[in-house]
Amino acid sequence: MRYSFLVCPTCQVQLIEEDGWRCPHCGGCWRDREGIPVFKRDEEHYWGEIPQPEMAELLELAARTFWHRAIEERLYPKERGLWEYITSLSRAEGLLFVPLDQTDWVLDYGAGWGTLSVALAPWVQAVVALDGTWERARFLQLRAMQEGLANVYPLWAGDMLPLPLPSEKFSLAVLNGVLEWVPQSFPKLSPLEAQRRLLQELWRLLRPGGMLYLGIENRYGFPFFLGKTAHGDLPFASVLPRWLSDALSRSLRGEPYRTWTHSLRAYKRLLQSVGFSSVQFYWPYPSYVRPEFLIPLEERAPLEFFLRWVWRGSSLSRRLRFWTVRLAHLGGIWKYLVPTFVILASKEEP
């Protein structure tokens, strides 16, 4: 049975494959779609960078030919940025910080197009690649199958907790550009409570000594004070008081403001509140989406080296940028103003 690790979300009893999945203890049943287990409340939900009809055509072409050919024909060159985002395994370079071996299980929560999952698969025992959109889970399934990665397990889930996964199974849980979107899947909870409950669940799934890899924006990153937006939010939404951002979003867009990000200190409090013992912050440059450098923010020397020997330039704009950041660094405030974070949080061993 390929998905023999699945357990009942309620009872934590191993599920039986029987026209889908059935719990022998409580009788709960979940269906299977094209070989992918389904643990969803809202199966009509779609989220993606391209419209759903175009995604359906891309999936049909990928199933008939090869996933890479489908991406090239449908997205390149008109969507070159998205094409690179899907195909470039350099997006996984930040995960080189995490010690993994062939005995480890990884959970990629919000796996999307599967780039991180397929990059990790050759180095570990298994990757459970969970996504809340059917089309993305199906694409990931095709991608893994066509690349011969039998240890990648797509799962269509994301709006139900607990997850159908056993406690202390995973050495690594990946949340890359996902935590801020979690409140959208749990509209009855406050944004902070939705994020907290997911982090509690990931803590449950990690083995002692396991690690959470979290890539996300800094609420008070300096670009957001200049009007830069993330997640399609209104300008300045992250830096304004929550109540004001919510009022503006409801007034101007007719929807609440729920894509919450946090400050360095708030992330640390949130992670420690659910049980993570060690929380380390890095500045991913140029961003957590495709990190070329991960600079520790709690140590002075690595950032000083990066600024002097990597980031410094001869043009006036680059010199101005260098001295602005260096002065902020010397003043001890740059770690609070970086645009994005990579956060490594560990579950304490007994």
CA distances from 324 to 38, 152, 226, 236, 332 (A): 50, 45, 15, 21, 13
The string of pLDDT tens digits covering residues 131-145 is 999 999 999 999 999
The string of pLDDT tens digits covering residues 103-118 is 999 999 999 999 999 9
The string of pLDDT tens digits covering residues 246-281 is 999 999 999 999 999 999 999 999 999 999 999 999
Average pLDDT over residues 208-231: 95
Q: Which of 111, 197, 196, 186 is nearest to 162 (CA)?
A: 197
The string of pLDDT tens digits covering residues 51-101 is 999 999 999 999 999 999 999 999 988 899 999 999 998 889 889 889 999
The token pair at 174 is 């990946």
What is the pLDDT, as a whole number, of residue 175? Answer: 98
Range 16-287+343-347 classified under CATH 3.40.50.300: no
What is the pLDDT, as a whole number, of residue 2? Answer: 87
Which residues are registered as beta bridge partners of 107? 128, 173
DSSP string, 230-277: STTPPTTTTTS-HHHHHHHHHHHHSS------B-HHHHHHHHHHTTEE
pLDDT at 1 over 90: no
Q: With the C-alpha atoms ordered 238, 239, 243, 247, is the resulting torsion angle positive or negative?
A: negative
What is the pLDDT, as a whole number, of residue 309? Answer: 79
CA distances from 259 to 208, 230, 238, 281, 315 (A): 30, 9, 9, 21, 37
HSE, side-chain direction, 13 A CA sphere, residue 263: 13
CB 87 within 8 A of CB 71: yes
pTM: 0.95
DSSP state at residue 348: P
Average pLDDT over residues 210-216: 98
pLDDT at 322 over 90: no
What is the pLDDT, as a whole number, of residue 76? Answer: 86
Q: Side chain identity at 82, as an amino acid letter?
A: L
pLDDT at 284 over 70: yes
The C-alpha atoms of residue 342 and residue 195 are separated, in whole angstroms, by 17
Q: Which residues contact 58 (CB under 8 A, 6 or more apart)?
A: 50, 70, 71, 74, 75, 139
Average pLDDT over residues 164-192: 97
CB 224 within 8 A of CB 236: yes
Average pLDDT over residues 26-45: 95
What is the pLDDT, as a whole number, of residue 65? Answer: 96
Looking up tokens 């139900």, which residue turns up? 160
Q: Parse the chain into domains and list their residue ranges.
A: 16-287+343-347, 295-338
The token pair at 81 is 């940025």
Q: Side chain identity at 12, as an amino acid letter?
A: Q
Q: Side chain identity at 122, as an amino acid letter?
A: P
What is the pLDDT, as a whole number, of residue 139? Answer: 98
CB 213 within 8 A of CB 106: no
